[in-house]
Structure 1
Amino acid sequence: MRRRKVVYGIMMGVCLTLFVLAWAVVPRFSPAAAVGMSVVAAVIPPFAAVVANWGVDRTDRRGR
């Protein structure tokens, strides 16, 4: 469980960093790169949720 929380936190930190950089810094140099970074950042949260919930159903069925 702890490892999943750490991985989730890292993924969401990367997501937040990408959004901040894509909206504040990168558009000055390359608007296309900023759009690409925003798209990648928008895709990360669903995968982070899957990682955070991986194996939850298996442990619930065994009563643990």
Structure 2
Amino acid sequence: MTRAAAGSKLVSMQKWEYATIPLIIHSTKAILDTWGDDGWELVAVIPGPDGQNLVAYLKRPKD
């Protein structure tokens, strides 16, 4: 917990969980829509280790 800037009220920090998923180029939208329906938010897409495929980084609030 951290102190709020305006006073001595305690504020809890949002906790996150993360996922990395491979993206298949011909079905990228369908893959991301499925994860989005489960509450995941896309953070970044970068080239995979082979340089040919993509990897998506996602996050969602942790309960």
Name the TM tier (shorter chain).
Answer: under 0.3
> TM-score normalised to the size of structure 2?
0.27
> TM-score normalised to the size of structure 1?
0.27
Which protein is richer in strand relative to its size?
A: 2
Which protein is richer in helix relative to its size?
A: 1
Say which one has the larger Rg. 2
Higher relative contact order (CA 8 A, sep 6+): 1
